Amino acid sequence: MKKLYILIIALFAINVVNGQSCLTNGITFTTQAQIDNFQTNYPNCTQIEGNTKIQGSDITNLNGLSVLTSIGGDLSIIFLDISSLTGLDNLTSVGGNLDIVGNDVLTNLTGLNNLTFIGMRTLIFYNSALTSLFGMGNVTSIGGYLWIEGTSSLINLQGMEGLTSIGEGLCLNNNSELQSLSGLENVTSIGGSLYFSGNDSLTDLKELNNIIAMSIDSLVIRNNGQLSSCETQNICDYLANPSGTIEIHDNAPGCNSQVEVEAACATMSVEPLTTNPVFTIYPNPASTKITIESSSKGLMTFWTISGQEILHQTITEQTTPIDIGSLPNGVYFVRLTVEKAVQVGKFVKN
């Protein structure tokens, strides 16, 4: 009897563990009752494997989803009449896309406070009452692009200060009241395009200054009526050595054409270098050690391709050996800042 009791307990424990991962084919919530009964209908379901869609004017709160810790597929929050996303407070990761679209009374993103990772794109579209992105502060990485469009009440991007890398680009389109990009100061890599269009109140792009120029593969800045200052260092570096599209027009004077922006770049105290490089890296590729050979003293910074800073040191000698044996294989960016000059290079660890 005792052995049978132990076996029953063990089988129960296995079922609880197995029950944590569920709904391979995903789930769609269209009523408040479905959300309220979720924990009853799917006991021990904390990790939804498939796509999750929450859509319907009948839904007034998301409290019944408080047990969820991860969603393996997409999370779509569409056309709800709720002012925040409270109820998703224990969600830490979304493996696919995060789409927040057409929620007319949503004022902030509170409820996503524990979310740290989004595997693919993030769309924040046409949430007319959204005044703040607070709630997204712990998201450090977005695997796809970050696209914010038609948020007519949003004046800045505060609330996203934890974000350091965007995998496929940043798009800000038709956000009529957006005055600054405050909140994106810590983004260092975008892995794609910078696209700004129809942001009528935006005046400058200074908060993007930490993005590595080599992570930009196209640049579109158009139809931003008050945008007069575009000469961030990374944009200047990209214009000096572009790898893709450049489209700059119909903005305010100073940022109304590529020629105007390049003229503004030329007056900056730190200028992009395209000739007479101040440092070289060898061997490249390398497996255990590289050497930085520099004609000038300066500040050297190493970054991963995802934008994570891994080394920060002053270069004082003509040759500086760097041990890279412990680094994972991959591509790394190197930036050297000296008086009135910046050079960015890269090396491959194999």
Do 43 and 163 belong to one domain?
yes
Contact criterion met (CB below 8 Å) for 26 and 48: yes
**To the nearest whole number, what is the mean pLDDT of the chain?**
87
Using CA of residue 121, residue 125, residue 130, residue 131, what is the dihedral sign?
positive
Spell out, as residue ranges, where the chain has pLDDT lower than 50: 1-19, 269-275
Closest to 112 (Cα-Cα) out of 139, 131, 130 = 139
Phi, then psi, of 240 in degrees rounded to 5: -75, -25
- Tell me what pLDDT residue 106 has: 96
Do 265 and 290 belong to one domain?
no
Among the candidates 243, 269, 295, a domain finishes at 269
- Tell me what pLDDT residue 277 has: 63
- Tell me what pLDDT residue 7 has: 38
| pLDDT tens-digit readout, 291-347 | 988 887 777 888 775 556 788 777 888 898 999 999 888 878 787 776 555 677 778
Do 310 and 253 belong to one domain?
no
- Tell me what pLDDT residue 21 has: 86
Do 325 and 189 belong to one domain?
no
Among the candidates 269, 303, 338, a domain finishes at 269
- Tell me what pLDDT residue 273 has: 41
CATH number at residue 314: 2.60.40.3080
- The whole domain housing 221 covers 15-269
In the chain, which ranges are continuous DSSP H helix? 2-19, 32-36, 38-41, 233-240, 258-266
Rounded to whole angstroms, how far apart are CA atoms 207 and 194?
13
- Tell me what pLDDT residue 336 has: 77
Token pair for 151? 């948020």
| pLDDT tens-digit readout, 199-225 | 999 999 999 988 988 889 999 999 999
